[in-house]
Amino acid sequence: MKTYHLYQIDAFTAEKFKGNPAGVVPNADGLSDSQMQAIARELNNSETAFILSPTAADHDVWIRFFTPTTEVPSCGHATISAHYVRAIENQLPTCTVVQKIGIGRLPVEIIRDDQDYRIVMTQGGITFNEQFTGTTHNDIVAALGLTSDDLDYRCPIQIVSTGHSKVLIGIRSRTKLNTLQPDLARLAEISPTIKCNGYFVFTFDTDGNVLTSGRMFAPAIGISEDPVTGNANGPLGAYLVQHQLVEIQEGCFSFKGEQGVAIGRRGVVDVEVTIDHGKPKTVQVGGRAVVIFKAELDL
């Protein structure tokens, strides 16, 4: 029998009960796949991160991510949460570590700031699928509870990935965004046909220091709504640059993306996109985190 440590972390916020909750098991060596899946189902967060010892000299830590129903290759808020736990447990200085995750080996910056930490992760390679048209376009719009009048005409509906793909859907109104009632069963039915599980609806209709506000639905993998999604806001940054929806200069583009307002869990994702010849090259997402509780599990 071994005692495993369980953390509940709220990511992309420094305020408890806001942002996106993730489970973290920092000493996951020894757990089987089925045990990790069972723990993720029990904690019932959108994702739980399992921190494992490195398997080779080319990375410092190995992390696996499970939703309540399946393993996923990458997760933004659970990455922030996992490295926040590592930082506070080990009292790390400002440093860069390399993590092995399902999409490869990528750097994560640990930034110590006033006895707390900010975590910045580099996401995977950027890919853009063909823009949706015709019946599939219309089915996605209808399943989300939208009409063509709601759409931002500048924003094509398209799958974009920085390691874990999302369908990006731009709309005109924050009021419409915050009152959406999508048909989750229909979205789950569409997902296998388009080979993408997440639907990220966003708008530029915002207040304050944020550029975008969004909501993300992924019912096909057991996530009715994800409060704050690094693997949606990151691809959004690449998409904004790719389609020239923002003013950019050669070098980099950065912005803050807000999410979770409609469900009372507001969080903010810091996104930075490096640009090469006017095109997005790499994406980083970052944010803060806070511990909600710590527990022990004997297995």
DSSP letters along 91-140, please? Answer: T--SEEEEEEETTEEEEEEEEEETTEEEEEEE----EEPPPP-HHHHHHH
Give the pLDDT band (50/70/90) at residue 293: very high
Round to whole Å and give the CA distance between 116 and 110.
10
- Kindly state the tokens that stand for 149: 């009048």
Compute how many other C-beta atoms are within 10 angstroms of the C-beta atom of residue 65: 27
Catalytic residues: 47
Angle at the Cα of 48 from the Cα atoms of 42 and 53, rounded to 5 degrees: 120
Is residue 2's pLDDT more than 80?
yes
pLDDT digits (tens, 9 = 90+) for 182-239: 999 999 999 999 999 999 999 999 988 999 999 999 999 989 999 999 999 999 999 9
Whether residue 77 contacts residue 259, with contact meaning beta carbons closer than 8 Å, is answered with: no
pLDDT digits (tens, 9 = 90+) for 95-106: 999 999 999 999
pLDDT, the chain, mean: 96
Q: Which pLDDT score, from 0 to 100, does residue 265 have? A: 97
Is residue 49's pLDDT more than 80?
yes
Q: Hey, is 14 helix, strand or coil?
A: coil
Q: Which pLDDT score, from 0 to 100, does residue 115 have? A: 87
Is residue 84's pLDDT more than 90?
yes
β-pair partners for 61: 99
Q: Which pLDDT score, from 0 to 100, does residue 57 have? A: 97
* Of 114-118, 217-221, 239-243, 247-251, the least confident: 247-251
Angle at the Cα of 96 from the Cα atoms of 93 and 293, rounded to 5 degrees: 60
Give the pLDDT band (50/70/90) at residue 54: very high
Closest-CA residue to 199 (of 160, 245, 149, 153)? 160
Is residue 250's pLDDT more than 80?
no
Instruction: Give percent helix, percent strand, percent coil of the chain, each to the nearest 5.
Output: 25, 40, 35
